């Protein structure tokens, strides 16, 4: 398992939130679990760009930070489901607000993101 080589800077609320939610897919993982997508295969279908390895690492980190719980069912093959903890559920209104902000500003956000993207990415989006 990966162990950080430096001590995290945890002097304010933003540092703490960043430490817990840092990761490209964590916010989306939490949102999709909230929507009822509880199994890793369901999450992978919802987020097709995430690799299985990265998904598992980020699920483990969310579990370590007590935002989700993992239940393993004693069947063959083993079945795993994740659910939000009460603590993790407190993030859902914030994630929803961030999503609304993104929807309201999506045209501008796409423009500024693509403006600084690699030319090959910009061409791929235009086609």
Domains of the chain in sequence order:
1-87 (1.10.10.10), 91-127 (no CATH)
**CB-CB contact of 58 with 23 (8 Å):** yes
Query: What is the average per-residue pLDDT within 8-29?
Result: 89
What is the spatial distance between Cα 105 and Cα 98, in angstroms, rounded to a whole number? 11
Confidence of residue 58 (pLDDT cuts 50, 70, 90): very high
Confidence of residue 124 (pLDDT cuts 50, 70, 90): low
**CB-CB contact of 63 with 121 (8 Å):** no
**Taking phi first (over 0 means left), then psi (-120 to 50 degrees means alpha), and beta for anything else, what does residue 125 get?**
alpha
> Which residues partner with 68 through β-bridges?
84
Q: What's the pLDDT tens digit per position in 89-113?
A: 999 999 999 999 999 999 999 999 9
What is the spatial distance between Cα 36 and Cα 33, in angstroms, rounded to a whole number? 5
Give pLDDT, residue 55. Answer: 96
């Amino acid at each position: 398992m990966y162990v950080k080589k430096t001590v995290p800077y945890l002097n304010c609320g933003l540092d703490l939130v960043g430490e817990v939610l840092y990761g490209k897919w964590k916010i989306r993982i939490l949102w999709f679990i909230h929507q009822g997508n509880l199994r890793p295969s369901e999450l992978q279908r919802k987020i097709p760009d995430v690799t299985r390895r990265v998904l598992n690492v980020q699920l483990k980190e969310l579990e370590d930070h007590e935002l989700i719980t993992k239940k393993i069912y004693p069947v063959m093959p083993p079945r795993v489901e994740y659910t939000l903890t009460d603590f993790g559920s407190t993030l859902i209104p914030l994630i929803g607000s961030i999503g609304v902000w993104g929807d309201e500003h999506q045209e501008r956000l796409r423009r500024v993101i693509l403006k600084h993207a690699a030319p090959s990415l910009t061409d791929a989006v235009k086609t």
